[in-house]
Every structure is written in structure tokens, then in C-alpha cells.
Chains A and B, each alone.
Chain A
Amino acid sequence: MWGIIRQRVACRSIPASILEQSLQRIPIRPVGYALRNYSSTAKEMTVRDALNSALDEEMSADPKVFLMGEEVGEYQGAYKISKGLLEKYGPDRVIDTPITEAGFTGIGVGAAYYGLKPVVEFMTFNFSMQAIDHIINSAAKSNYMSAGQISVPIVFRGPNGAAAGVGAQHSQCYAAWFGSCPGLKVLTPYSSEDARGLLKAAIRDPDPVVFLENELLYGESFPVSAEALDSSFSLPIGKAKIEREGKDVTITAFSKMVGYALQAAEILANEGISAEVINLRSIRPLDRLTINASVRKTNRLVTVEEGFPQHGVGAEICASILEESFEYLDAPVERIAGADVPMPYAANLERMAVPQVEDIVRAAKRTCYRSGSMAATA
């Protein structure tokens, strides 16, 4: 309705803002309604609650779904993601395990072979390395090796990447490692809607899914639409989301870095650079179509990730662009990644080892030839 009024106003050369102001002074409240916020995205939800509600709904819908991991039951979840689930579903479906990743991951995969739908939680994905043989060799490859006889409907989930001050052995990002393995699906939610939709899709999926969360995002709140709150909601696996449209440079990111990329886009906008931010959502399958279409529009690319640079997600995206959209590039691709060093403990060193908003801004400016130096170091 406002659109039509604006069009008519433009034809008659009355400034739209004045007309809108005067129209707003007329109360438009229907009789009998209490005063309400009519916004469709009024509800906010933390990522933690989003994951908890997704688990709850999927466990309620399918009795074959069960949760297994360290501290998921009586402790209510190491990060409280599984709060209330033990009480609701009982110890047969919410299982506390000893600290034996190789053992319980193998047991989870075996249960999936038989037809159950396990959700195996790793306290962080650093510990998944103890069980990585079962994830790759027992789960990912089985469907192919058995020519379709054995399907493995399992979800491996938990926090991935750097937290705050947890040191080298607790801060690695595994997106690139799992992303290279055929037979796996790898998802990286950012917002609460991502968390809900992607976890539900992962649990319903008949193949093994690695679900990489982020500890620092658990407490962050995001608006969720009414559609996302419905228990049948799910997001497609393998589709990226364009979080912010732009025309000068494409910035790809996943998980926590999406937030940083959006902040960088805001700063760049004030300097006259319009950045398009893509939230990858899915590392495997990677949404090459969306990324390439965006780069063909903007002609410049900055890839952002928290993990180590060599053989990283950014490297794969660069290769994909070179293979499909080389002639569209107006500048070399910029890769922003974590520093090529085990994560240091000291807070100031940790800040330097993880990409910051300024690094993304500088890289975007470099692709737009707005800075003097073409140096790779951020």
C-alpha cells in the first residue's frame, strides 16, 4: 500500500517523506484489537534454544532418533544444548557415554547400520579426531562400498573451531577436512534459523552428516520467522544464503565469520563499497552455483574462514571460481583464514590468529584496488 502511494506521489512531485509523515499521524488501529507489534519477525531465539528445539521436535517425531555423547543427559549438555531432553525422553534415548570417542562413535554408526537414527555429540570436534576412522571409513564410505545396501542415517554434531582462550588442542576448525570426503554432508549454521532448519534436515537425511556448530554463537540471539518455528520446518542441504546483497565484491563466509563479514560489509558501505555477503551454510555439498553467480555479478571475491589457510574451504572456492568464472574476475581472489600456527593461548595472540573484521575490510578494499599494498598478510 505504501508503495502505491509513493509512486503516485512521485508523479506529482510531492516529497514522499512528508506524505508518509502526515499519513502516519492518522491512527490506523482497527477497533477491538489490543496494541500489538505487527512485525512477522518479532520472536528472537538463541542458537542454543534453536538447536534444543530442533532436537526435541525431531526426537518427538521419530522414535528411532536418539542422542548419545558425553554429558548430554544428566549434565543437561556440556553447553546445555540438550537441556531437558533426558527428562522428557528418558535414559534409553538420551545416553551419557564414557569418555571413549572411538568406542561410542563406532557404536553409533553400528546402530545406524541397523536402521536407528543416532545423533552423536562430540564435546568439541577436536575430539572427533579420536573417532575419525568411524566417521570416514565406517560411516561415510559404507553406502558406496556396499552399493547402496547399507545406509547410515547418522548426525555427528558439536562445537567446531576457535572458542575463547582454550588453546591449540581445543581450537581447530574441521570444515576443510570433513568437506573433502565423499559420502559426507557437512553443514555450518550461523543464525538460529540456520541452526533449526539445518539440524532438522540433517537428522532426517539418510546419509551421514557432520554438523559443525560454534560455541561462541550458542548464546547469540537472532530473529526467527513464524515459519522457522513450525516443527516441520527444514532448510535444504547444499544451498547457500545471500545474507546481504551487493554489487562490488562478494564475501563468502560460514559460521561465526558470517557475523564478521556482515559487520565488514557495513563498514565498507560507508566507504562506498557495496559488498554481497554469502552465508555458505553447507560446506559439502558446496553451493558453487550461488557463489559463481555472485562473483559473475560483482567480479571480485573475498573468502573468509577461521580454519588454517592451506587446503582450506577458501582454497576450494578459489579453485571453483577459477574453473567456472575466470573471465569474470577483475582482481585476484583474496583468502582470509586463520593464521598458519597452532592457536596461541594469550588473548592478544589469539586475536591475531583469528580473522577480525578489519582483515575482511582490508581484503575487500584490496580487491577493489583501494589500498596500495597487494601483500597477502592481513
Chain B
Amino acid sequence: MEAAITRKDNIITAYRDHCLYLGRGGTLLETFAELMGRKDGCSKGKGGSMHFYKKENGFYGGHGIVGAQVPLGCGLAFAQKYSKEDNVSFALYGDGAANQGQLFEALNMAALWDLPAILVCENNHYGMGTAEWRAAKSPAYYKRGDYVPGLKVDGMDALAVKQACKFAKEHALKNGPIVSTFI
């Protein structure tokens, strides 16, 4: 993903934020220190595992409430459009969070206002301990956008992910939000 975008594009995710933090310029020392609750941690030990941030490099966390990061990510995209910047915001979430109502609320507004928001569902087929087939009637999360175009990507293929992100960024800047699933 990082290969396809810049540090002026924003990324926001839920609590699996460790690697994204490293990808956005965080150091291993800060990561381990934060996990140990020490003051050299990236959030000075006050945030913990779920709350890593690196605002100057466009990484906005690190959120514990499942699904909350999607409206927040659309808000980041809103602010980029408001400030007339040519950048996008990626909001990452899991297949468990894909069922959250606030996701659809935010997507509706992103589509209404043509926000440069890219929703990325990292599908590992489980939400907490519950298997996908027991939680989601339709596991084709990239189709859930309905009026918003969707992209299905092989998440295990690094080059495919890079191309998808490059495409998504171009699309979002021109046409508004796009939903994608990385399986």
C-alpha cells in the first residue's frame, strides 16, 4: 500500500495498527515501548497497543471501537477535500466491522459529497471469534457499496495490492469513494 501512496495520503485503522504504524515511519523501539507501557512509547505509554498514531506522516490510529474508524476516515477525506488537497484517505476495517451501521452512514455521505475516501476491508473471515458465515449474510464486502463501486483484491499478492491502491487513489480523487476487499 505504501508503495502506491504518499505520506500526504491518510491511513486510519482499528486496533491492528502495529505494522501500519511501522509502515508510516514508526520505529520498533517506540512500538515495543508502548506495548510495555513505557514513556518512550509512541503514545508515551498512555495509549497502549490499540492507540498508535503518527499524525505528521498521515497515520491517524489506532482505534478500539470496531467500525468507528470508518466515519473518522471519511472525515479525514472530507477535510482533505475542504482544504483542496489532492490526496486521499484510506479507512481500513475487518470483515467483522463491515457489518457496522455507521459504515453505511459514512459511505452514504462520502458518496453524496464525493469525498476522496477509500474503504478497505481486510477480510480474514472471522469477526472476533465468530466465523464469517455466521455473521454476514453477504460476504462479498466489496459489493456492499451498492451505489459505490467496489474492488476485490488478492490481499496475499503484494503487487496486486499496490496496483489496487494506485487505482483506488486515482478513482477516489476523480469520482469519489470506492469500497474494496482485500481477501
Cβ A103 vs Cβ B64 within 8 A: no
Does A116 have its Cβ within 8 Å of any Cβ on chain B? yes
Tell which of A23-31, A132-140, A188-196 binds the partner.
Answer: A132-140
Could you tell me which residues of chain A, from 106 to 154, have a CB within 8 Å of some CB in chain B?
Answer: 106-116, 133-134, 137-138, 142, 144-147, 149-150
When chains A and B are docked, how far (Å) is the Cα of A197 from the Cα of B3? 49
Cβ A110 vs Cβ B102 within 8 A: no
When chains A and B are docked, how far (Å) is the Cα of A149 from the Cα of B82? 22
When chains A and B are docked, how far (Å) is the Cα of A134 from the Cα of B63? 11
Q: How far is the CB of B157 from chain A (nearest CB, A)?
A: 30
When chains A and B are docked, how far (Å) is the Cα of A78 from the Cα of B70? 28
Name the B residues within 8 Å of A310 (CB-CB).
none
Evaluate whether A107 and B65 lie within 8 angstroms (CB atoms) in the complex, with A92-B82, A100-B105 already known: no
Bitwise, B51-85 to A at CB < 8 A (1) or not (0) is 10111000011111100101111111111101100
Cβ A149 vs Cβ B71 within 8 A: no
When chains A and B are docked, how far (Å) is the Cα of A116 from the Cα of B71? 15
Cβ A109 vs Cβ B72 within 8 A: yes
When chains A and B are docked, how far (Å) is the Cα of A77 from the Cα of B105? 21
Name the B residues within 8 Å of A138 (CB-CB).
63, 65, 68, 72
When chains A and B are docked, how far (Å) is the Cα of A100 from the Cα of B83? 24
Cβ B43 vs Cβ A109 within 8 A: no
Cβ B109 vs Cβ A150 within 8 A: no
Name the A residues within 8 Å of B73 (CB-CB).
110
Cβ B60 vs Cβ A150 within 8 A: yes
Using a Cβ cutoff of 8 Å, how many contacts connect chains A and B? 122
When chains A and B are docked, how far (Å) is the Cα of A328 from the Cα of B17? 53
When chains A and B are docked, how far (Å) is the Cα of A137 from the Cα of B108? 23
When chains A and B are docked, how far (Å) is the Cα of A110 from the Cα of B42? 20
Does A102 have its Cβ within 8 Å of any Cβ on chain B? yes
Q: How far is the CB of A103 from chain B (nearest CB, A)?
A: 3
- Determine the residue in chain A with the shortest Cβ distance to B45: A147
- Determine the residue in chain A with the shortest Cβ distance to B113: A95
Question: Chain B, interface size: which category?
Answer: 35 or more
Does A232 have its Cβ within 8 Å of any Cβ on chain B? no
- Determine the residue in chain A with the shortest Cβ distance to B75: A110
Q: How far is the CB of A63 from chain B (nearest CB, A)?
A: 9
Cβ B64 vs Cβ A137 within 8 A: yes
Evaluate whether A103 and B71 lie within 8 angstroms (CB atoms) in the complex, with A144-B46, A145-B46, A150-B53 already known: yes
Does A105 have its Cβ within 8 Å of any Cβ on chain B? yes
Name the A residues within 8 Å of B61 (CB-CB).
142, 146, 150
- Determine the residue in chain A with the shortest Cβ distance to B53: A146
Name the A residues within 8 Å of B79 (CB-CB).
110-111, 113-116
Does A41 have its Cβ within 8 Å of any Cβ on chain B? no
Cβ B46 vs Cβ A104 within 8 A: no
Cβ A107 vs Cβ B71 within 8 A: yes
Does A97 have its Cβ within 8 Å of any Cβ on chain B? yes
Does B10 have its Cβ within 8 Å of any Cβ on chain A? yes
Cβ B76 vs Cβ A106 within 8 A: no
Bitwise, B25-48 to A at CB < 8 A (1) or not (0) is 000000000000000001110111
Name the A residues within 8 Å of B71 (CB-CB).
102-107, 109-110, 134
Partner of A137, one of B65, B78, B80, B104: B65
Cβ B68 vs Cβ A113 within 8 A: no
Does A66 have its Cβ within 8 Å of any Cβ on chain B? yes
Cβ B101 vs Cβ A97 within 8 A: no
Could you tell me which residues of chain B, from 104 to 122, have a CB within 8 Å of some CB in chain A?
Answer: 104-106, 108-109, 112-113
Cβ B65 vs Cβ A106 within 8 A: no
Name the A residues within 8 Å of B68 (CB-CB).
106, 133-134, 137-138
Cβ B76 vs Cβ A103 within 8 A: no
Cβ B80 vs Cβ A114 within 8 A: yes
When chains A and B are docked, how far (Å) is the Cα of A102 from the Cα of B109? 12
When chains A and B are docked, how far (Å) is the Cα of A113 from the Cα of B60? 8
Cβ A107 vs Cβ B74 within 8 A: yes
Name the A residues within 8 Å of B64 (CB-CB).
137
Name the A residues within 8 Å of B106 (CB-CB).
103, 106-107
Q: How far is the CB of A137 from chain B (nearest CB, A)?
A: 5
Cβ A100 vs Cβ B75 within 8 A: no
- Determine the residue in chain A with the shortest Cβ distance to B108: A98
The 9 closest A-B pairs by CB, nearest first: A110-B75, A106-B71, A103-B105, A114-B79, A100-B105, A110-B72, A147-B44, A107-B75, A102-B102
**Interchain residue pairs with CB less than 8 A apart (30):** A92-B82, A95-B113, A98-B109, A100-B109, A102-B71, A106-B74, A106-B75, A106-B102, A107-B106, A109-B71, A110-B60, A110-B71, A110-B74, A110-B75, A110-B79, A111-B82, A113-B60, A113-B72, A113-B76, A114-B80, A114-B83, A133-B68, A134-B71, A138-B63, A145-B47, A145-B51, A146-B61, A146-B62, A147-B44, A147-B46
16 further contact pairs, Cβ within 8 A, besides A103-B108, A137-B63, A146-B47? A97-B109, A98-B108, A102-B101, A102-B102, A103-B102, A103-B104, A103-B106, A106-B106, A110-B72, A110-B75, A110-B78, A112-B75, A114-B83, A147-B43, A147-B46, A149-B43
